[in-house]
Amino acid sequence: MNYGLEFELLYPKEDAGGAAEVRRLLRASNLDVEPDIQFFVVARKERRIVACAGLAGDVVKCVAIAAECRGTSLSLKLMNEVQQVASIERGHNHLFLYTKPENAVLFEGCGFHQVVSVLGSACLMENTPVGIRDYCDMLAAFRQPGERIGGIVVNANPFTLGHRHLVQQALGACDWLHVFVVSEDASAISYADRLDLVRAGLAGLDRVTVHAGSRYLVSKATFPSYFLKDAKVVEACSTALDLLIFRRYISPALGITHRFVGNEPFCAVTRKYNRDMHEWLEHASEEGPALRVVEIPRLEVGGIPVSASRVRQLLGEGDFEMMAHLVPATTLALMRAKYAGRARARTFRRETRIIEVK
């Protein structure tokens, strides 16, 4: 029985009244509406919203149930609705869920399984009992012998000589190196192109395995604030879940002992992530062997650290002559052939809006 419940989709940007009602319900559970939520599945009883669950891609978050409806089957019905909507309308069958650790048992009764949890902070779950296990079994096929096995995670948006420098420096300090490319398609350069650029840029180097990315590694499921790039969100959103997944699952599967990273002079989000690596990979008392985190100074050209953001700026300006000093020939060729026109169009639109405002 639904006890007079009606389920519907609510789009916060289109329904101000409904969004305000959802916000009140969330605040009663010490939650708030997160900026990446695309829509909510809400349950209404006598037209009043008594339960909600937000969906951001394949991630369920901001789940709340009115106090008088807790302890009923409403949570199960709500999660069933969410999974149906995600599957039928969005094509997402594998879902992740954010919740408080103390609520994990509730969602286990709805078919979700815990991936990793940070006491007093957050818990990441998925709606399959074999997701992370199957991923680690796949990784284990690429395990290599050696006492010092390195790991690097790159977005490579796009791949630069700085990325290659980081890999070369790491190779000098380990027996084998695993390079992971962030798979989230939320960057200026598509994931398919970024993966191809990394493989081309590292061609000819021995003792390196380039891995396609996954939802378990710097994704909107494990580390949403990386893609929000909002300093206020960064302070409120822990990087611990992403790093603990790497420590507990990914590094044991491949025998990784060292995590290499370039120092970060520009981006506050990445800089915080680097700091948190030392805490959660080296020092925190958690399951999984500790890793050593090694920060490597960035390659500099003309006294300025090489960065992908600088390359994107040059792309927008159409300055391929300067870009040629910062990226491999393979990256330069792709930028010229595929992204130059798009970048100039975006730059033109920005300049047009500035002129109109003035």
- Report the C-alpha gap between 247 and 215 in whole angstroms: 15
- Report the C-alpha gap between 49 and 71 in whole angstroms: 17
Whole-Å CA distances, 198 to 52, 218, 312, 343: 41, 17, 16, 21
Tell me which DSSP letter residue 15 carries: -
SS3 36: coil
Given 3.30.360.10, 3.40.50.1370, 3.30.70.890, 3.40.630.30, which CATH number is that of 5-94? 3.40.630.30
Mean of per-residue pLDDT scores for the chain: 88
pLDDT per position as a tens digit, 26-40: 999 988 888 889 999
pTM listed for this prediction: 0.88
Looking at residue 54, its pLDDT comes to 96
Structure-block tokens of residue 176:
């084998």
DSSP β-ladder status, 96-99 and 113-118: unpaired
Looking at residue 185, its pLDDT comes to 85
Query: Could you state, in order of their start, the residue ranges of all structural domains in the chain?
Result: 5-94, 133-299
Looking at residue 285, its pLDDT comes to 72
Helix axis angle for 308-317 and 340-357, nearest 10°, is 80
- Report the C-alpha gap between 128 and 114 in whole angstroms: 9
CA 189 to chain CA mean position, Å: 16
pLDDT per position as a tens digit, 62-86: 999 999 998 889 999 999 999 999 9
SS3 344: helix
Looking at residue 218, its pLDDT comes to 82
Looking at residue 351, its pLDDT comes to 35
Q: What is the CATH number of domain 133-299?
A: 3.40.50.620
Positions of the chain with pLDDT under 50: 1-2, 230-237, 347-358
Looking at residue 77, its pLDDT comes to 95
Tell me which DSSP letter residue 283 carries: I
SS3 9: strand
